[in-house]
Amino acid sequence: MARIDDYETAYRLAKEEFINRDPHQAAAGAGAKLTPEGHIQLVFLNRDVQVYVPEGDVAVLDGGPDLSIHGKVIILHYLNASQGRPPKGKLITFREVPAGEFYYSAFEKRAKAPLLSTFGQSPEKLLNLAPVLGGASIDHSGVAVQINVLPYVPVTLVIWPGDEEFPPDGNVLFDENITSFFQAEDVAVVAGLAIYPLMGLARSM
């Protein structure tokens, strides 16, 4: 995956693109809102975030830790691509994302393997911790939670508990509309952004 200096460059380029976006269209297409001052506010992983217009600086509003550079880039990419396409309700795997096969090994390292190593033996922890990020359990063949990384970007985390014959398995699923906002590499980042906070919470228990 990209190095941190690559993300600094990506953040700069995303801000340059954002300057040319109509903030009303960007907000309306992303399930966000405009403040009286004309800035964009939206919810990112259960945190209130503001994107300043026109410069594109991203800041949290809850007084907590600043967002990672990865999160800021994802938020701007989301706003720059927003077209008012809410979730369709159809789940897809990463391999079904265009170019997903090319980035699959990076996706496994960034998302699937950490999810399984942390929650494979204790999926109940996933159920207990998901509400911290605004997530909730959903009906699925395995133990599954859905977390809204961004207003129109739900991510589903699934654990299939093991038994005497088979070890636990897991996966990260996306609504089909995610391809309206992100390319494959960004989709892998989105998955990690949903999983890493849960991993941190699990380790602190």
User: Which pLDDT tens digit goes with each residue over 10-48?
Assistant: 999 999 999 999 999 999 999 999 999 999 999 999 999
> For residue 2, what pLDDT is reported?
53
pTM of the model: 0.94
- In the β-sheet with 33-34, what is the strand arrangement from edge to edge? 33-34, 40-44, 47-51, 58-60
Q: Is the pLDDT of residue 163 over 80?
A: no
Question: What average pLDDT does the structure give for the chain?
Answer: 94
Q: Is the pLDDT of residue 142 over 80?
A: yes
Mean pLDDT of 40-61: 98
In angstroms, the first-to-last Cα distance of the chain is 29
Compute the distance between CA of residue 60 and CA of residue 65 in angstroms, rounded to an integer: 8
Q: Is the pLDDT of residue 4 over 70?
A: no
Mean pLDDT of 39-68: 97
> For residue 164, what pLDDT is reported?
76
| Contact in structure between 69 and 3 (CB atoms under 8 Å) | no
Q: How many CA atoms lie within 13 A of 49 on its CB side?
A: 28
Which pairing describes strands 58-60 and 47-51: parallel, antiparallel, or unpaired? antiparallel
User: Which pLDDT tens digit goes with each residue over 80-134?
Assistant: 999 989 999 999 999 999 999 999 998 999 999 999 999 999 999 999 999 999 9
